[in-house]
């Protein structure tokens, strides 16, 4: 982090501004203004995983019909695991980045065989799952305290830290400090 991002005693600006106040205001805003989205109506980790994979580099409005249709075809990880790849790719058509569909099916095969991962680290070991997706799914579906940091979160943190663009490591460290550990899934979605 640049020298602007730290006070003389090494304390980040977020802690100086009152982490509790920021958390409280952000969650209050989320509670009052969150959009009603189909993946927010479930705690099923498979369905949340599908939404997170679909939402990568795709607008929310575009994902909703694909998500609903995809889950009608493949309502469980087992159903997706058993499907022919051509059927999965046909259902994915229009979302682009077909490697996401292939990785999602490979992940579904592992989940069908071994069950859904119990930890963030185990989720990271799944095909095509990176730190953001693992944190998002494990916090939203399982209530695990992992801050999900993507480009949008980095922009929010840049404003809070008065940084032009915090490094990934600095952004993750600050997001981890800011995370509401009682409501990590809601907090990540609010960010």
- 33 CB-contact burial (10 Å; exposed 0-12 / middle 13-18 / buried 19+): exposed
* Residue owning tokens 């899934």: 185
Based on DSSP, count helices (H) and strands (E) in the chain, helices before strands.
12, 0
Using the Cα atoms of residue 113, residue 116, residue 122 and residue 123 in order, give the sign of their dihedral: positive
| DSSP secondary structure, 70-101, as one string | HHHH--SHHHHHHS-HHHHHHHHTTS--HHHH
Catalytic: 121? no
Long-range contacts of 151-158 (CB under 8 A, 24+ apart): 152/191, 153/191, 156/191
* CA angle, 123 then 129 then 134, to 5°: 50
Catalytic machinery residues: 52
């Amino acid at each position: 982090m640049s020298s602007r991002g730290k006070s003389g005693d090494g304390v980040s600006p977020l802690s100086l501004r009152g982490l509790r106040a920021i958390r409280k205001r952000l969650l209050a805003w989320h509670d009052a203004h969150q959009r009603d989205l189909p993946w927010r109506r479930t705690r099923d980790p498979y369905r949340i995983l599908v939404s997170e994979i679909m939402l990568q580099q795709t607008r929310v409005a575009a994902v909703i019909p694909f998500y609903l249709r995809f889950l009608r075809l493949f309502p469980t990880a087992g159903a997706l695991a058993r499907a022919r790849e051509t059927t999965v790719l046909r259902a994915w058509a229009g979302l682009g980045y077909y490697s996401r569909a292939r990785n999602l099916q490979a992940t579904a095969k592992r989940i069908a065989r071994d069950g859904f991962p119990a930890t963030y680290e185990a989720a990271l070991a799944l095909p095509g799952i990176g730190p953001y997706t693992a944190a998002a799914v494990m916090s939203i579906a399982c209530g695990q305290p992992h801050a999900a940091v993507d480009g949008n979160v980095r922009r929010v943190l840049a404003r809070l830290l008065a940084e032009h663009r915090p490094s990934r490591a600095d952004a993750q460290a600050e997001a981890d400090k800011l995370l509401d550990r009682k409501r990590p899934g809601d907090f990540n979605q609010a960010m």
